[in-house]
């Protein structure tokens, strides 16, 4: 995968844009264009998160700030390629003393800490370059960081086989042209197939033009 394409998908996240993210992206785009409001995404977090959690593609940290962890002192790690996103999110959830990991998930990940019981990849896949089969390789690099049976969940914006309004089509086309998105060929079927080849108990639900997914890491043989 070309390095410039990898960086294009995360370059839009600057301190300025992150300060607007909750209102502009979650408040306007997710609700009115993608038809998947932040409240729905937060509910998805709440249903799947554990108190031993790895969050990849952290954005502004909105969901980690709002979700109720099962315990008052969870183990939390933040992973992203973008240092601005990591710093912004880490400040927002500083009460949890998160570990901060700058990594490119499209390459093998150097990590030697204890494994995690949940992984969120929320609004990430559509920002990674390539087709779904190419970018779900990120999950291959993350699975070694997870315990057997760990929960994997998130959401991604799709184009194929989902309903999109004209404004949604226009903005997605613009974002794809700029390299912010790379989801021209992403579909529900491709997402489900890519996840089911790697995880157990995979479920994909369409909300607007978003695919909300969850599954579990396969248990190793005794």
The pLDDT of residue 78 is 98
What average pLDDT score do residues 87-93 get? 97
With CA atoms as reference, report the closest residue to 100 among 150, 55, 141, 152.
Answer: 55
Band of the pLDDT at 10, cuts 50, 70, 90? low
Residue 5 pLDDT > 50: no
More confident residue, 5 or 59: 59
Q: Locate tokens 């489900």: which residue?
A: 192
The pLDDT of residue 161 is 86
Q: Is 10 helix (H, G, I), strand (E, B) or coil?
A: coil
Interval 93-138: pLDDT, tens: 999 999 999 999 999 999 999 999 999 999 999 999 999 989 999 9
CA-based torsion, 117, 122, 128, 134: positive or negative: positive
Band of the pLDDT at 47, cuts 50, 70, 90? very high
Q: Which fold does the domain 3-215 belong to in CATH?
A: Rossmann fold (3.40.50)
The pLDDT of residue 111 is 96
| Torsion from C-alpha of 190, 194, 199, 205, nearest 10 degrees | -20
Interval 141-161: pLDDT, tens: 999 999 999 999 999 999 988
Count of residues making up the chain: 222
Interval 155-211: pLDDT, tens: 999 998 899 999 999 999 999 999 999 999 999 999 999 999 999 999 999 999 999
Query: How far, in Å, CA of 71 to CA of 105, rounded?
Result: 28
The pLDDT of residue 222 is 42
With CA atoms as reference, report the closest residue to 79 among 139, 3, 148.
Answer: 139
pTM of the entire structure? 0.93
The pLDDT of residue 3 is 47
């Amino acid at each position: 995968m070309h390095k410039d394409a990898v960086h294009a998908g995360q370059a839009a996240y600057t301190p300025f844009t992150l300060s607007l993210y909750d209102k502009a992206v979650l408040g306007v785009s997710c609700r009115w264009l993608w038809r998947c409001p932040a409240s729905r995404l937060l509910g998805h977090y709440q249903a799947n998160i554990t108190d031993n959690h790895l969050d990849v593609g952290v954005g502004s940290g909105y969901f980690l700030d709002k979700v109720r962890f099962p315990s008052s002192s969870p183990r939390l790690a933040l992973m992203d390629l973008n240092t601005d996103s990591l710093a912004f999110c880490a400040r927002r959830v500083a009460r949890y003393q998160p570990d901060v990991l700058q990594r490119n998930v499209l390459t093998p990940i150097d990590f030697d800490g204890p494994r995690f019981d949940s992984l969120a990849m929320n609004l990430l896949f559509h920002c990674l370059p390539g087709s779904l089969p190419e970018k779900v390789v990120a999950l291959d690099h993350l699975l070694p960081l997870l315990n057997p049976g760990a929960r994997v969940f998130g959401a991604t914006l799709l184009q194929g086989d989902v309903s999109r309004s004209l404004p949604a089509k226009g903005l997605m086309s613009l974002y794809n042209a700029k390299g912010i998105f790379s989801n021209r060929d992403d579909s529900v079927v491709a997402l489900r197939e890519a996840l089911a080849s790697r995880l157990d108990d995979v479920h994909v639900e369409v909300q607007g033009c978003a695919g909300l997914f969850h599954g579990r890491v396969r248990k190793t043989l005794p």
